[in-house]
Amino acid sequence: MHEFDLIIKNGTLVDPEKRRITVGHLGISGGKIAAITREDIRGRHEIDAGLAIVCPGFIDIHAHVDGYLYAAQCMVRQGVTTSVGGNCGFGPLDLQSFFDGLERDGFPLNQAMLIGHSFTLREKAGAVDPYAPATPEQVDCMLSLLEEAFDQGAIGLSFGLEYAPGTSFDEVLALSQVAARYGKLIAVHTRTDSWPGLGALKEAVRITEFTGAPVQVSHLVYQVGMGMMIQALEILDRAVRDGLDVAADSGMYHAFATFIGSPVYDEGCLEKWGCDYGDLFVATGKYAGQRCTREIYQELRANYKNDVVVAFACREAEVYQALLPGYVMVSTDGAVGSPQPGTGHPQDSGTYPRFFQKMVREQGSLSLVEAVRRCTLLPAERLGLLNKGRLKIGADADIVIFNLDRITDRADYPGIGRPDAPPEGINYVLVNGEVVVENGRLLEHAKPGRPVRAVRRYWRWQ
């Protein structure tokens, strides 16, 4: 009898591609799924799933792990096996060196990267004023840098337009046309939020109308979850119904985290959100765990611009509403500011457990197989990852084993609880066939993750 490297026996197998749930065993060899069967198979190592859920690893299409070890460890504990970085317009520019470093040192999970516009490309091109449009010469420089990034393996382009509100639409289109030439995904953190965010959402849709590039609207609830989600979804529904290549992602929390010195926190933001200073929680730095006052807000804005502050600006009911359409996938927006132990946002550790806990077990608003699809196959298809997000022979052995009756988010906001508290109910996580989480415990030495280098080739009609 053939002996596999590792077998998972007695699993409740959830196949998001066939939309099927059944019981069986997995055989894994060479980092790939080599058998899916009910035959009595043997392996050098064995996991008895005990009828727990066995599904593809979660693909986080919007995060900020960007190579930071502790952030990756928090992510993999919640079932993330592939993370997409470079979101919101920032991240490393030299992707060749970045990917080489991951290969040399190892990493807990697989890492794909977008190339960011609104910080990375703009700053390199000299467009350092976020409130001013780039000059034609600066745009030309960014176009050249973008081509290089695609040569180095960038999986797409990201805009953080709220961080560089002076960006002209002509600038956006010029870069988007390069991405469209190669069929690359464009992730868009829209130009503004709340009620003005509806117009910003229409602007994001126009990118694909003008260029044909696939557009991914980032962290939907953080942009339009302040009372206008119905209207926002009508815009996206219409775009999808009209055949435009538009999708979105969203998380599980109604408070977002970003840098206090960014334009997001410019004067007037609280009035726009209908909040006051007490709705802002400091997540990092000297005031970590404290609510803002006007004095703290002003001090941080003046002297600690890179401290991360959490804004309770959204409505919790709209968190769940955002994730109902079939084109919306789950994302964390995790690891903003590369949080250290004991700091950060609960999304860094609890997004996916909370999704299954709330939307499948407690609310029943999504079926198990559909919920798994939103975390696996849907982002894999969006990113063109043919060997991930699937439970089939030959696919990468990125696997999550969890107990649906027990899966629970235990993380909480700074000053209330531990933002990095590990979840309950995730029994095992495998990355490329190697166990990284065992019986709910992170194996800190395990670094089987690989860089996901995309290939630059011209788009062709499929």
Whichever domain contains 348, its CATH number is 3.20.20.140
Q: Report yes or no: 324 and 229 within 8 Å, Cβ to Cβ.
A: no
Average pLDDT over residues 151-175: 98
Residue 153 has what pLDDT? 98
Residue 414 has what pLDDT? 84
Q: Are residues 71 and 48 in the same domain?
A: no
Over pLDDT 90: what percentage of the chain? 96
Q: Are residues 43 and 21 in the same domain?
A: yes
DSSP state of 277: G
Which tokens is 425 given? 């109910």
Of 22, 80, 49, residue with least CA distance to 422: 80
| Residue 460, domain member (yes or no) | no
In which domain, by residue range, is 26 found? 3-55+394-405+414-443
DSSP state of 67: T
| Residue 327, domain member (yes or no) | yes
Per the structure, the count of domains in the chain is 3
Q: Are residues 286 and 343 in the same domain?
A: no
Q: Are residues 75 and 34 in the same domain?
A: no
Residue 1 has what pLDDT? 61
| Residue 389, domain member (yes or no) | no
Please give the single-letter amino acid code of residue 357. Answer: Q
Residue 173 has what pLDDT? 98
Strands 246-250 and 215-217: parallel
| Residue 461, domain member (yes or no) | no
* CA separation for the pair 222, 218 (Å, rounded): 9
Phi and psi at 6, nearest 5°, equal -155, 145
| Residue 109, domain member (yes or no) | yes
Q: Are residues 35 and 175 in the same domain?
A: no
Residue 343 has what pLDDT? 86
Q: Are residues 71 and 129 in the same domain?
A: yes
Distances (CA, A) of 7 to 24, 38, 40, 54, 427: 11, 12, 10, 12, 15
Q: Are residues 22 and 139 in the same domain?
A: no
β-partners of residue 173 are none
Q: Are residues 173 and 37 in the same domain?
A: no
Over pLDDT 70: what percentage of the chain? 100
Out of 77-91, 218-232, 283-297, 315-329, which region has the weakest mean confidence (pLDDT)?
Answer: 283-297
Which tokens is 408 given? 């629970």
Up-side HSE of residue 413: CA atoms within 13 Å toward CB?
A: 19
Mean pLDDT, the chain, integer: 97
* CA separation for the pair 76, 361 (Å, rounded): 22
Of 249, 354, 258, 247, residue with least CA distance to 313: 258
| Residue 303, domain member (yes or no) | yes
Q: Are residues 105 and 80 in the same domain?
A: yes
DSSP run (H or E) holding 312: none
Kindly report the pTM of this predicted structure: 0.97
Average pLDDT over residues 231-241: 98
Q: Are residues 22 and 164 in the same domain?
A: no
| Residue 143, domain member (yes or no) | yes
Up-side HSE of residue 268: CA atoms within 13 Å toward CB?
A: 6
β-partners of residue 160 are 189
pLDDT level of residue 338 (50, 70, 90 thresholds): confident
Average pLDDT over residues 275-304: 94
Q: Report yes or no: 249 and 263 within 8 Å, Cβ to Cβ.
A: no
- Would you list the DSSP string of 95-117? HHHHHHHHHHH-BSSEEEEEEEI
* CA separation for the pair 2, 394 (Å, rounded): 17
Residue 462 has what pLDDT? 75
Average pLDDT over residues 136-148: 98
